[in-house]
Structure 1
Amino acid sequence: MAERVLMKGNEALAEAAIQAGCRHFFGYPITPQTEVAAYMAKRMPKIGGTYLQAESEVAAINMVLGAASAGVRALTSSSSPGISLKTEGISYIAGSDLPCVIINVQRGGPGLGGIQPSQADYWQATRAPGHGDLHVLVFAPSTVQEMVDLVMDAFDMADLYRMPAMILADGALGQMMEPVEIKERPKRDLPEKTWAANGHENKRPHNIVNSLYLTPGDLEALVKERFARYDLIKSKEQRSESYMADDAEFIVVAYGASSRVCKSAVKAARAEGIRVGLIRPITLWPFPVDAIQEAAKTAKHFLTVEMSMGQMVDDVRLAVNGAVPVSFFGHTGGIIPSPAEVLGEIKKLAGGAK
C-alpha cells in the first residue's frame, strides 16, 4: 500500500503492523479496539500469517511470549481492562528480553468503566506495565498517520533494544477516519536474533528463553544490565513535537487526542496575543524530559491537559523540577476537553492578557 487512503485508526494500526513484517497476531475482542482484531482476522490468512483469537487476554499475551521467543514479530491489542489482564505476561516478556508490540486503545475506568476515550492508563503504561523492575517503550500517536508510523517504529525499536513496545492510543483515535499513506520504508539495520529459540540445526547450542533466576545475584545482575539499556534509551530515544513554543511564556503539555484539542486552543490564544506554545510528548517512556527542561528556562507556567484526573502531570512536574509552576486541567470518564475549555485555562494563567 503506497497510495493515500481513508482508514479508521484501528484498521490503520493493523495494516501498519502487517507492513512492518508482523505475521502473528493474538488477541481478544474488547471495545473500542475490536477492529484491530477484526482486520487481522481478514488479512492474516491471505498473506500466510497467523491470526488467533485466544480464549482470554491472558492466553493472548502468553501466545505473544511464545511467538516472540522464536524471533518473529508478534502483536497483540486490547483496551484498558484487557491490558490489565496482560500485565503478568508483559512482565514475563520483559524479563525474557523479548521484543513485541502491544496496542492499548484506552477506554474509561477503573473497572469496566465505559467505552469512551480515555488517557487514564498513563501510569500503568509508564510506571507499572507489569510486576518487577521493568519498562516498556511507550508511543503516543495523535493522528491516524502517526499511528501507522509509530507502529513501524515500535517494531524496529523493540527489536533493537530487545523489549516490549506499547502504542498508547485512545478510543477517539481508534475510531476516527483520516487519510493515511502506508508505504514500505527502508529496512533498518537491526541486530540478528541470535538468541531466538527457533531450531539450531546442530549448528549452535540450544537457546533457552527464560525469566526465572533463583540465585539473587544472577537476577540482580540481569536487572542492572537491563536498566543500563534503559538509560541508553532515555539518552537517545526521547521524542516530542514543539508547536509555537520558541517564544512562549506559557507552555501547554498534552499528548494523543488531547494534543489536537490543545493545538486549536494555542492557535486561538495566539490570535488574542497570548504567548503560548505546545509541547506534545510522542514517547511517553522515555518521557521527553529534555524538551520540557529546555522550555522551562524561559516559560513562566506549564499547563498539562489530559483525559484523566492527572497522571502525565507528575512527569511534567518532575522534569520542570520546581523551576516554574505546573497546573493541570482535564476530564475523565470518557469526556474529551474542548478547545474553548483549554483556552479558558490558558487565559486564567495569563491573567486575562491580550
Structure 2
Amino acid sequence: MKNKKILAKGVEAIAFGALEANCKCYFGYPITPQNEIPEIMAQELPKRGGIFLQAESELSAINMVLGAVATGKRAMVSSSSPGISLMCETFSYLAGLELPAVIVNVMRGGPGLGGIEVSQGDYFQAVKGGGHGDYHFLILAPYNAQEAYELTAKAFELAEKYRNPVMILSDAILGQMKEPLILKKLKIKEYPKDDWALTGAKGRPARFIRSLFLNSQELRDHNLRLQKKYRAMQKDIKYENQVDKEDEIIVVAFGSMARICKEACQNLKNKGYPVGFFRPITLFPYPAKPIQKLIKNSGKKLKFLVSEFNCGQMVEDVKISVEGKAEVISLPYPPSIIPFPEDIEKRIKKCLRSSHIQKV
C-alpha cells in the first residue's frame, strides 16, 4: 500500500489501524463518541473476508471477542466509559485465559452516565484493572490521529506477543477531532498460535485453556506467571521525553491533555523558562524507570506537575515513580473543563515561583 494522506478523526484512525493489522472480527455496540469505529468496520471488514457483528449489548460484544480470539483470530471491540464498565468481568477472564484481545475505550465524562465531554476519568479502571483478580492489560494512549493509527495496529502484535489483552485508551477530543493522517504500510508481526488456539482437535491432540484453578498451588503458580509476564512488558514501554538537564519542572500528561501541555511547555521554553515535558504513551506498564532516570541525571531538585482531564489519577503513578525524591504536584481538570495552553503556562510559572498548587 502506498502512503495516502487523508483528513480523519481519531476514531477513524483507530479503525484504519485495526484494518492495517489484519483484524478479522469486530464486535460492538453503539455509544458516543466512538461510533465511527463500528461504521468503518461494518463497511470494510466484509470486503476483506472478516466479520462485523453489532451485538445486542456490550456484554455480548466482549464475550464474542473472547470466543473469536480463543480460536486465534484477531478481534477487537470498541466502546466508551459506561460500556467499558459493563465489560469488566470478561476483561478478567480474558487476562486469566491469556487471550490476545484488543479493546478500545474512547473515554467520556463520568461517573455514572456523566456526559459526552472530554474526560480521562477511566485511567484507574484501565491501568489498575476494572475486573476482579490480580491482572493487567497493556495500555497504550495515543495523542494524535497518526499515533492512534499506528498504536492500534501495534496493539494486535503486542497482544499476541504477550498473549494478553491490550487497550487503546483515547478520549473525546482525540476521538472526534479531524487532522491529517498518513495511511501507510506498517510492519506488524504475527505470532504463532499453534500451541494454544482452539481450532478443532482433528488430527492433533486436544488443547485446553482455562482460568479456573481449584488446586491452590496451581492458582498460585498461574498468578506468579502472569506477574512475570507483566514485568516482561517493560521491554515495550513507550514515552516521549523533552527534558533538558537544566529544567527545574517537568510537566507530565498523556493523551489530549498532553497536546495542550506540550504547547505550553514549548512556549515557555522559547522564553527561557526551565520547563521540560514528559508524556507516557504506555500507561501500563508505567514508565517509572525513565522518570527515575530524569531525577538521577538532574543536578536540581525537580518538581513534577501532572495535568490530566480528571480529578487526579495518573498523579499517583508519578508519585510512586519518583520514590519520594522529587515534589509531585497535581493539576487536575475535571470532565468537560478544557484549559488553553496559556492557562497551563500560568500554572507552570506559579509552580516555579512557589508551591501554591494542590500537592499530592
Q: Tell me, yes or no, whether TM beats 0.5.
A: yes
Which letter does structure 1 place at the counterpart of 2:241? S
What amino acid does structure 2 have at the position aligned with 1:225? Answer: R
> Aligned-pair distance for 1:245?
3.7
1:129 aligns with 2:130: yes
Q: CA deviation at 1:246?
A: 4.0
Q: Is the 8 A contact 2:250 2:303 kept in 1?
A: yes
Name the CA distance, whole Å, in 1 between partners of 2:120 and 2:43.
29
Cα distance change on mapping 1:31 and 1:144 into 2, 3 Å: same
Task: Report deviation, 1:80.
Answer: 0.5
2:21, 2:188 within 8 Å by CA — same for their partners in 1? no
How many residues are paired up?
350
Q: 1:187 to 1:79 in 2, by over 3 A?
A: closer
Q: Secondary structure at the match of 1:350?
A: helix
1:273 is aligned to 272
Q: Which is further off, 112-121 or 289-298?
A: 289-298
Q: What aligned pairs does 1:137-286 form with structure 2 within 5 A after superposition?
A: 137-188=138-189, 190-202=191-203, 204-234=204-234, 236-286=235-285
The more displaced of 332-341 and 85-94 is: 332-341
Q: Quick one: which amino acid aligns to residue 218 of structure 1?
A: E
Secondary structure (helix, strand or coil) at the match of 2:195 reads coil
CA distance in 2, matches of 1:145, 1:245: 26
Aligned to 2:63: 62
Distance 2:190 2:26 in 1: 24
Counterpart AA for 2:259 = R
Instruction: Say whether the 8 Å CA contact 1:138–1:165 is kept in structure 2.
Output: yes
2:302 aligned residue (295, 300, 303): 300
Q: CA deviation at 1:199?
A: 1.8
Are the aligned partners of 2:150 and 2:186 in contact in 1 as well (CA < 8 Å)? no
CA contact (8 A) 2:118 2:172 kept: yes
* RMSD between aligned residues: 1.4
* Contact 1:69 1:98 (C-alpha < 8 Å) held by counterparts: yes
- Report the alpha carbon displacement of residue 117 of structure 1 after superposing the two structures with TM: 1.1
Instruction: Give, in whole Å, the separation in 1 of the partners of 2:105 and 2:38.
Output: 12
Q: Which moved more, 1:245-254 or 1:309-318?
A: 245-254
Secondary structure at 2:8's aligned position in 1? strand
TM-score with structure 2 setting the length: 0.94
| Displacement of 1:166 | 0.2
Aligned to 2:29: 28
* Aligned-partner Cα distance in 1 for 2:284–2:78: 19
Shift of 1:49: 1.1
Question: What percentage of residue pairs aligned between the two structures are identical?
Answer: 46
**Unaligned regions of 5+ residues in structure 2, if any?**
355-360
CA drift at 1:174: 0.6
Gaps of 5+ in 1: none
**Cα separation, 1, equivalents of 2:141 and 2:102:** 13
Give CA deviations for 1:7-28 in whole Å, capped at 9, x if unaligned.
1111110111011010100000
